Amino acid sequence: MKLTLGFSPCPNDTFIFDALIHHKIDTQGLDFEVVFDDVETLNQKAFNSILDITKLSYHAYAYATEDYVLLDAGSALGFGVGPMLICKKEQDLNNPNLKVGIPGKFTTANFLLGLAYPHLQNKEEMVFSEIEQKLIDGEIDLGLIIHENRFTYQNKGLKKVKDLGEYWEEKNNCAIPLGGIVIKRELPLAVKQTVNQLIRQSVEYAFANPKSALPFIKSHAQEMEESVMYKHIDLYVNKYSIDLGVEGKKAIEMLFKQAYENKIIPKMNKNLFLN
């Protein structure tokens, strides 16, 4: 059986899925047709139910629960991993007219920005990798960065305004849910359970053989230094990537509760989790 699988070219995702898609583990008769896209493109594809299995932002999952269910394996949750609001020069954050470059309307980053600074509504969507340059060029006043850019922005003379991951952690005393792996609800339960187990095994293989995925990671990492790649992986791939567990699920439920209370997402009527 062949299933379409979408994830980003970022090091955390290529690290997670390397063993699965390159058959370093027994895939139990399943084959995967891989689609690489940035997270906001994957979010949009999920809204249109295009892929069988896909990475998506937790914010976006609130709009895709009719068609997809969240797997226990493959998620990105953690402490000290959140998106960051940055600037080129000091700004008055009380000014509602500040123009903010965001990596997508339905990213968890934008959800956190809405919680921390609800008055900042002058937003421009762009690919996450373009945000730093737009700041440098003066096209935006603030930039909301995700992924490996948290390791590179200072090298370009840019400054931190707020770590929104720290904001969430201080407010809620739990991990910040960033992205998860979902699978179509219409697939047989046995297939969904098998895929979940395979992704878990793929993560476990990657942890046991951390250099095995290096060629695959490098081929998609935008000429990133190896040390930065592994910093990125260390931040976003952890115990929650193997299994959400009680703590991970509690953090996700808290995210959706606050989002609903703040009228950022609609009410969800489906079970969130596979198990």
pTM of the model: 0.86
Confidence of residue 263 (pLDDT cuts 50, 70, 90): confident
**Spatial distance between the Cα atoms of 72 and 136, rounded to a whole number of angstroms:** 39
Is 140:89 a contact under the CB 8 Å cutoff?
Answer: no
**Spatial distance between the Cα atoms of 162 and 60, rounded to a whole number of angstroms:** 23
Catalytic annotation, pick one of 22, 59, 147, 220: 147
Check whether 109 is labelled as a binding-site residue. yes
**Spatial distance between the Cα atoms of 177 and 169, rounded to a whole number of angstroms:** 11
Helix (H) or strand (E) holding 57: strand 53-57
The CATH topology of domain 84-172 is: D-Maltodextrin-Binding Protein; domain 2 (3.40.190)
Look at 208 and 178; give whichever has higher pLDDT: 208
Average pLDDT, the chain: 92
SS in 3 state form for 201-257?
A: HHHHHHHHCCCCCHHHHHHCCCCCCHHHHHHHHHHHCCHHHHCCHHHHHHHHHHHHH
Alpha-carbon 241 to chain mean position: 12
Check whether 56 is labelled as a binding-site residue. yes
CA distances from 116 to 111, 125, 228 (A): 9, 18, 28
Q: What is the mean pLDDT of residues 205-231?
A: 88
Alpha-carbon 235 to chain mean position: 12
User: Angle CA(57)–CA(63)–CA(69) in degrees, nearest 5?
Assistant: 75
Chain segment 195-204, per-residue pLDDT in tens: 999 999 999 9
**Spatial distance between the Cα atoms of 205 and 142, rounded to a whole number of angstroms:** 39
**Backbone angles phi and psi of 78, in degrees to 5:** 165, 180
Q: Give yes or no for residue 95 having a pLDDT over 70.
A: yes
Q: What is the mean pLDDT of residues 62-75?
A: 97
Look at 230 and 188; give whichever has higher pLDDT: 188
- pLDDT number for residue 177: 92
Check whether 108 is labelled as a binding-site residue. yes
For the chain, give the percent of residues with pLDDT over 90. Answer: 70
Q: Give yes or no for residue 182 having a pLDDT over 90.
A: yes
Regarding the domain with residue range 2-78+177-261, which homologous superfamily does it belong to in the CATH classification?
Periplasmic binding protein-like II (3.40.190.10)
Confidence of residue 111 (pLDDT cuts 50, 70, 90): confident
Q: Give yes or no for residue 275 having a pLDDT over 80.
A: no
- pLDDT number for residue 186: 97
Q: What is the mean pLDDT of residues 118-128?
A: 92
Domain ranges of the chain: 2-78+177-261, 84-172
Confidence of residue 71 (pLDDT cuts 50, 70, 90): very high
Q: Give yes or no for residue 59 having a pLDDT over 80.
A: yes
Known catalytic residue: 22? no
Confidence of residue 60 (pLDDT cuts 50, 70, 90): very high
Check whether 27 is labelled as a binding-site residue. no
Check whether 158 is labelled as a binding-site residue. no
Q: Give yes or no for residue 146 having a pLDDT over 90.
A: no
Evaluate whether 2-78+177-261 and 84-172 have a shared fold: yes
Chain segment 16-39, per-residue pLDDT in tens: 999 999 999 999 999 999 999 988
- pLDDT number for residue 223: 58
| Contacts of 114 by beta carbon, 8 Å cutoff, 6+ apart | 262, 264
